[in-house]
C-alpha cells in the first residue's frame, strides 16, 4: 500500500514537472510587470523547479516481477473481461489524475494582478511631476460659473489621485472667477481627504483668472505629464510637454503623438 502511494506521488510530481515547462515563459512575462517583490517569487519558483528535478531523477526502485500464473482454459473469458475492466478503470483514473494535476498547476500559476500603484507607475512611465486641471477631471463641475456655487470632488477618481501623489509631485490648477470659487474648491478637496494623504498640500493648488494663465503655469512647472479637459490647452501645450492626457468622451480630431485620450482619469489607468 505504501509503495502504491509513493508511486502515485511520483506520478503527480512528474505531471507537475511537465506542466512547469509550459507555464514558465508566461510566468516570467507576468513577473516583469511586478516590482522588487518579484525577486522572492522567482526564488520560490527556482526552489520548486529544483525540487521537481531532484524527485524526477530519483529512481523509484526495482520493480518486483509477479510470477505468471496459468489460468484454466475455461476461465479465459472471465480473465479477459477482468483485464478489460482494469484497463478501463486505469484510463479513467489517469484522466482524473491529469485533470487534478492541471487544476493544481493552473491554480498555482494564476495571473498576478498588479496593484493600482504599480499600474499608475507603469502608465506614467516613471514620471516625477504631474500637473492637472480640476474641471471635468477631479471635479464634477465643468465650467467656472458652476464653481461659484459649489465644487464637488468625483469620488471615483480619488483612489487614482492619491496613488499619483505617492509617486509624483502633483499640482492642481484651475481658472476661477472669484475668491468664493477658490474657497469652494479647497473645501471640497479637503473634505475628500486629498490633503491628508501627505502627497498634496494646499500650496500646490493653483488658481488663475484666464486660460492663458493656466497654460503659463504648466509651462513654468515643466511637468512630465499634464492632464486636462480643455482641448485648446491640450493643443497649445503639445509642443512643450512630454506627455498629456486629454479627459473627454470624444477624441481630438488630430491629436499629437504624445497626447492620450480617456473618458475619465480612472479609465486611463484601467480602473473602470
SS3 of 264, please? coil
**pLDDT one-digit tens code per residue, 197-217:** 667 899 999 999 999 999 999
Cell numbers 499600474 correspond to 119
Examine residue 28 and state whether it is found in any structural domain, yes or no: yes
Examine residue 71 and state whether it is found in any structural domain, yes or no: no
Using the predicted structure, report yes or no on whether residue 85 has a pLDDT greater than 60: no
Give the mean pLDDT of the chain.
78
Q: Report yes or no: 177 and 141 within 8 Å, Cβ to Cβ.
A: no
Query: What pLDDT shows up at residue 36?
Result: 45
Q: What are phi and psi of 129, to 5 degrees?
A: -135, 130
| Maximum alpha-carbon separation in the chain | 108
184 or 272: whose pLDDT is higher?
184
Examine residue 72 and state whether it is found in any structural domain, yes or no: no
Using the predicted structure, report yes or no on whether residue 66 has a pLDDT greater than 60: no
Using the predicted structure, report yes or no on whether residue 1 has a pLDDT greater than 80: no
Examine residue 68 and state whether it is found in any structural domain, yes or no: no
- DSSP E strand stretches across 63-220: 129-133, 169-175, 205-208
Mean pLDDT throughout 68-74? 50
Domain total of the chain? 2
Q: Report yes or no: 245 and 131 within 8 Å, Cβ to Cβ.
A: no
Report the DSSP beta bridge partners of residue 245.
Answer: 227, 260
Cell numbers 487614482 correspond to 160
Query: What pLDDT shows up at residue 150?
Result: 96
Q: Which residues of 18-49 are buried (b: 16+ CB within 10 A; e: fewer)?
A: ebbeeeeeebeebeeebeeeeeeeeeebeeee
Do 144 and 99 lie in one domain? The reply is: no
Do 85 and 141 lie in one domain? The reply is: no
Query: What pLDDT shows up at residue 39?
Result: 47
Do 185 and 164 lie in one domain? The reply is: yes
SS3 of 192, please? coil
Going by pLDDT thresholds of 50, 70 and 90, the confidence category of residue 43 is low
Query: What pLDDT shows up at residue 99?
Result: 66
Do 88 and 52 lie in one domain? The reply is: yes
Domain, as residue range, for 133:
116-268
Q: Report yes or no: 173 and 230 within 8 Å, Cβ to Cβ.
A: no
Strand pairing class (225-228; 129-133): parallel
From 162, 160, 161, 141, select the one nearest 152 (Cα to Cα): 141
Report the DSSP beta bridge partners of residue 228.
Answer: 246
Examine residue 67 and state whether it is found in any structural domain, yes or no: no
Using the predicted structure, report yes or no on whether residue 241 has a pLDDT greater than 50: yes
d(CA 132, CA 121): 16
Task: Count CB atoms within 10 A of the CB of residue 214.
Answer: 24
Amino acid at each position: 500500500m505504501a509503495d502504491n502511494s509513493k508511486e502515485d506521488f511520483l506520478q503527480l510530481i512528474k505531471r507537475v514537472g511537465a506542466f512547469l515547462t509550459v507555464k514558465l515563459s508566461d510566468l516570467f512575462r507576468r513577473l516583469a510587470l511586478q516590482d522588487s517583490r518579484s525577486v522572492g517569487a522567482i526564488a520560490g519558483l527556482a526552489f520548486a523547479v529544483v525540487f521537481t528535478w531532484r524527485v524526477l531523477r530519483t529512481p523509484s526502485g526495482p520493480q518486483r516481477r509477479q510470477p505468471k500464473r496459468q489460468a484454466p482454459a475455461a476461465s479465459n473469458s472471465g480473465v479477459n473481461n477482468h483485464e478489460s475492466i482494469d484497463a478501463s478503470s486505469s484510463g479513467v483514473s489517469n484522466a482524473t489524475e491529469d485533470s487534478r494535476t492541471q487544476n493544481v498547476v493552473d491554480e498555482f500559476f494564476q495571473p498576478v494582478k498588479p496593484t493600482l500603484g504599480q499600474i499608475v507607475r507603469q502608465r506614467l512611465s516613471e514620471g516625477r511631476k504631474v500637473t492637472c486641471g480640476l474641471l471635468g477631471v477631479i471635479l464634477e463641475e465643468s465650467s467656472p460659473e458652476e464653481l461659484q456655487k459649489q465644487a464637488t470632488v468625483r469620488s471615483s477618481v480619488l483612489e487614482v489621485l492619491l496613488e499619483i501623489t505617492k509617486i509624483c509631485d502633483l499640482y492642481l490648477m484651475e481658472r476661477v472667477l472669484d475668491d468664493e470659487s477658490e474657497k469652494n474648491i479647497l473645501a471640497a478637496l479637503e473634505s475628500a481627504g486629498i490633503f491628508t494623504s501627505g502627497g498634496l498640500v494646499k500650496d500646490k493648488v493653483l488658481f488663475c483668472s484666464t486660460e492663458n494663465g493656466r497654460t503659463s503655469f504648466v509651462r513654468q512647472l515643466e511637468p512630465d505629464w499634464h492632464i486636462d479637459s480643455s482641448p485648446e490647452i491640450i493643443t497649445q501645450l503639445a509642443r512643450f510637454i512630454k506627455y498629456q492626457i486629454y479627459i473627454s468622451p470624444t477624441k481630438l480630431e488630430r491629436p499629437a503623438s504624445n497626447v492620450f485620450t480617456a473618458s475619465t482619469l480612472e479609465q486611463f489607468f484601467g480602473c473602470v
